[in-house]
Amino acid sequence: MKRPIGGHRVAAAVATSVLVLAGTACGGRANPNATGTTAATGPSTISTGPVSTGPLTGPHAKHAKRLQPRPKKGHVKHVKLKGVRQRARHKAALAVHLPPRCPLTGTRPPGGHVPKRAALAVKIENLPEARPQWGLDQADIVFEEPVEGGITRFIAVYQCHDATRIEPVRSARLVDPQILEPLGRMLMAYSGAIQPAINEIDARRSLLFDVGADRVGSAYWRDPTRYAPHNLVTSTAALYAAAAALHDKEKGPTPIFSYGHEAKGGTPAAAVSIYDPLDTTTWTWRRATGIYYRSYSDTGTAMQGDNVQITASNIIVMLVHEHPTPWPEDITGALEQELTLKGHGPAWVLRDGAVFFGHWERPFLDDPTVFYETNGTKVPLTAGNTWIELVPDGLRVSVEP
């Protein structure tokens, strides 16, 4: 019987393929890059002549298939799923064990739980006749804004803490919605305002829910030990209850600051002073307590009605452009002021006894303001309450080393 030409080579290739498969089944590992004589690697390396790398056909295919290793059913899939499940459980455990933080201070909330409620902004007076104020020590954030006549007024923002007494509540300003816009949907408490300011607060596009004295008068009362208009009082409980009665859909505030370790580039700073037209406000750092203490050049230490001095963990001084609006604010004819809060300008950030000088940036009014050093490094805040001083760009600011 005549043997087909090349038959011995085909038989050798088949035999070699069978050996290769058998070696793999016994624990060897096929080399996917093999192009020469090395067919497999593992406990034993089998070398032969040229080997076909294509699939087996004919009567040998069935035999070769039986020699291929069969992994246990679902074994590889189980290993992958096990890893995924372990990672998922690890992430879940981290999520469970991370302590909750107040969105506007970065600190742990009282009682261990962040209140499920909107932020609340209250306008508070700052004339000498209004001192001492009540409730400022419980605010998460306080904005000090310049208003007509060279005086300033506060916007105290509450969310994580309650204040049983907030006094004295005074009128809103046209610029208030612009200051508060990055915080998202929130409550706004005040006592009166010129009509353009009320229109801005109650506008359809506004993110402020009006709980002013003209709308929810039952949430306010008068302090008999003071003269009007410096004696209007309210509380966070009364204002939140009034909002609930009006069916406000409360939503937690949007965090506007980032917190972290002190950035590089700061220089020691014992105090910062802001020279307002009527007096000078000074914040002084005390290493023993790790916070800043407020005082005035005309009335001295900034004490509250509860005999606690006004303090802050972070002080931010922003130079902003101030310009008058066409609308008179009071019977003296003083015009209400506007502030340019979009864009950029010089800024000082004080935390942990150090000052970081640079600039602020706010591309759009719904963006939170971001603070940078002169070299472009973003300045994080330390966890705690923050006072933001909005200072007209013509006023003097000094920092004591």
Spatial distance between the Cα atoms of 347 and 391, rounded to a whole number of angstroms: 10
Structure-block tokens of residue 257: 């600051």
Q: Which residue has the tokens 């923050």?
A: 386
The answer to whether residue 317 scores a pLDDT higher than 80 is: yes
Topology classification of domain 110-139+160-245? YerB-like fold (3.50.90)
Comparing 262 with 255, which gets the higher pLDDT? 255
pLDDT at 185: 94
- How many Å apart are CA 260 and CA 351, to the nearest integer? 11
- Please confirm whether the linkage preceding 69 is cis (ω < 30° from 0): no
CA distance 391 to 398: 12
Sign of the CA dihedral with 329 first, then 334, 335, and 338 last: negative
User: How high is the pLDDT of residue 262?
Assistant: 76
Mean pLDDT, the chain, rounded, equals 83
Distance CA 329, CA 219 (A): 25
Q: Give the C-alpha separation, 195 to 193, whole Å.
A: 6
Q: Where are the beta strands (DSSP E) in 38-160?
A: 40-41, 119-125, 141-146, 152-158
Q: Residues 235, 163: contact at Cβ < 8 Å? A: yes
Provide the terminal-to-terminal Cα distance of the chain, rounded to the nearest Å.
Answer: 108
pLDDT at 83: 57
320 has a pLDDT exceeding 70: yes
pTM (2 d.p.): 0.77
Query: Which tens digits make up the pLDDT trace of 118-161?
Result: 999 999 999 999 999 999 999 999 999 999 988 999 999 999 99
Q: 43-82 as b/e, with b when 16 or more CB fall inside 10 Å?
A: eeebeeeebeeeebeeebeeebeebeeeeeeeeeeeeeee
- CB-facing half-sphere around the CA of 270: CA atoms within 13 A: 2
pLDDT band at residue 46, thresholds of 50, 70 and 90? Answer: very low
> pLDDT-based confidence at 195, cuts 50/70/90?
very high
pLDDT digit string (tens) for 287-314? 999 999 999 999 999 999 999 999 999 9
Q: Which of 43-52, 60-69, 87-96 has the lowest mean pLDDT?
A: 43-52
Query: In 3-state terms, what secondary structure has residue 219?
Result: helix
> How high is the pLDDT of residue 2?
41
Say yes or no: do domains 110-139+160-245 and 267-400 share a fold.
Answer: yes
* Residues 166-182 pLDDT 10s: 999 999 999 999 999 99
The pLDDT value given to residue 40: 37
Nearest CA to 136 out of 115, 159, 110, 165 is that of 165
* Nearest Cα residue to 337 out of 153, 205, 188, 128: 153
Give φ, ψ of 193 to 5 degrees. 180, 160
Superfamily of domain 267-400: YerB-like (3.50.90.10)
Enumerate the domain spans of the chain. Answer: 7-67, 110-139+160-245, 267-400
The secondary structure of 266-297 as a DSSP string is -EE-SEEEEE-SS-EEEEEEETTTTEEEEEET
